[in-house]
A and B are shown apart, each in its own frame.
Chain A
Amino acid sequence: MEHKTSLKRTGLYVSGTNPVNMIQASFYNEDCMIFDMEDSVPLAEKDAARLLIYRMLRDHRPVGKYIIIRVNGIYSEYIDEDLEAAVRAKPDAIRIPKVEYENEVKMIDEKITRIEKEAGIEEGSIELWCNIESYLGVLNAYEIASASPRVVALALGAEDFTASMKAQRTKSGQEIFYARNAVLMACRKAGVEAIDAVFSDINDVEGLKADTALTKNLGFDGKTIVHPRQIDVVNSFFTPSVKEIKYAQRVLEAVEEGKRLKKGAVTLDGGMIDKPMELRALTTLAQARAAGIKV
């Protein structure tokens, strides 16, 4: 069965402690579900969360969603058993908290490969999302993103990042503006997806809108969210306008036309169409389809 969606607009955290939230979240409109073994799970419940997430994904894997498991920290006492459970649950990806160095990715990669082998899971099939949550992570973002072919996305974690910077977290987010751009550039260079930080005040819809507008305009591919209430708002920012869709269609038509006529350079409205324009047009249409728009 094909589990993956092509989009990663929204990634919703679902605590590994709570069966009812796990079931319900599989029906919401988020693109990615992040089953959490880390922050939302009290220390005394780590064992229970591993089994619950594992059994839930074995029996009731949500259809049409990109499934991620967030394990505990690389240097925590839980990481090895977390990986034993998480790999065997066969998610699309495992999300690693606070990655700072290339070799940390390689270490996790090797552990996953060993478990994949033991469990008879295709080697390399489980992808990695690396959380960038410190200045070191930001400075080493490109090395982290290109440390293993498993890495498909970097996700910025703003709270820990600002703490590492001795900065104040604000709603306007000026203190993470550089980090956002730095992570984005690293992702673009490495060819992986860039996921923006959470907006944590779930009651502030206007604040979420302003923050997500920035997320989208900077160029991020999606955003991590902490409450189902945020899903539709964030998705809507990644829903292209009719004008954008029409333009994307015209770009792709021109590209097709160019291929058919074996033209080297394709132009539209007098301007050249380059590869990034074509990719952006494809993304626009994928986002439109995900939003239920017929294209």
Chain B
Amino acid sequence: MRLENTGIAGTLESSDVMVTVKPNPASGIDIQIESSVIAQYGDEMRETVKSVMQEFDITDAVVELQDKGAMDCVLRARAETAVCRALGVGFNWKGEDGK
């Protein structure tokens, strides 16, 4: 899928993360993380963002995380919401079946 617009989801509250997904034409996935626990969980955060991008078949995007100590499932939910908003589509719930 090609990103044409920016999508934002999440908040700057404790245990949450604000995810911004922007177009990045033909330049791959660029992940920028701001987090007090980047040393401990930075790699995991990257993996989660990459897997969400794969799920939506997005190959080019700038993804910014302003993390306030969000757990992995929160990051995933926020990233999925941000991508859905950027693409202007609903989440594919049927895609979850069998996972």
Contact with A along B59-86 (1 / 0, CB 8 A): 0000000000011111011101100110
How many residues on A have C-beta within 8 angstroms of the other chain's C-beta atoms?
Answer: 23
User: Which of B77, B85, B90, B96 has the most A CB atoms < 10 Å from its CB?
Assistant: B77
B41 within 8 A of A: no
Among B13, B16, B85, B97, point to the contact of A119 (Cβ < 8 A).
B97
Is the pair B13, A23 in contact by a Cβ cutoff of 8 Å? no
Assembly CA distance A223 to B71 (angstroms): 31
Is the pair A23, B77 in contact by a Cβ cutoff of 8 Å? no
Residues of B within 8 A of A56 (CB): 73-74, 77
Assembly CA distance A17 to B10 (angstroms): 9
Is the pair B71, A60 in contact by a Cβ cutoff of 8 Å? yes
Is the pair A120, B97 in contact by a Cβ cutoff of 8 Å? yes
Chain A stretch 22-47: residues in CB contact (< 8 A) with chain B: 23, 47
Is the pair A23, B15 in contact by a Cβ cutoff of 8 Å? yes
Chain A stretch 208-266: residues in CB contact (< 8 A) with chain B: none
Assembly CA distance A51 to B96 (angstroms): 11
Is the pair B9, A119 in contact by a Cβ cutoff of 8 Å? no
Is the pair A48, B76 in contact by a Cβ cutoff of 8 Å? no
Q: What would 30 A/B residue contacts be, using CB atoms closer than 8 Å?
A: A18-B13, A18-B16, A19-B15, A19-B74, A47-B84, A47-B85, A47-B90, A48-B78, A48-B81, A50-B91, A51-B80, A51-B81, A52-B77, A52-B78, A55-B74, A55-B76, A55-B80, A56-B73, A59-B71, A60-B73, A84-B93, A84-B94, A85-B91, A85-B93, A88-B93, A118-B94, A119-B96, A119-B97, A120-B97, A120-B98
What are the 10 closest A-B residue pairs judged by CB atoms, nearest first? A59-B73, A20-B15, A84-B93, A55-B77, A55-B73, A51-B77, A52-B77, A48-B81, A19-B74, A19-B15
Chain A residues close to B by CB (< 8 Å)? 17-20, 23, 47-48, 50-52, 54-56, 58-60, 81, 84-85, 88, 118-120
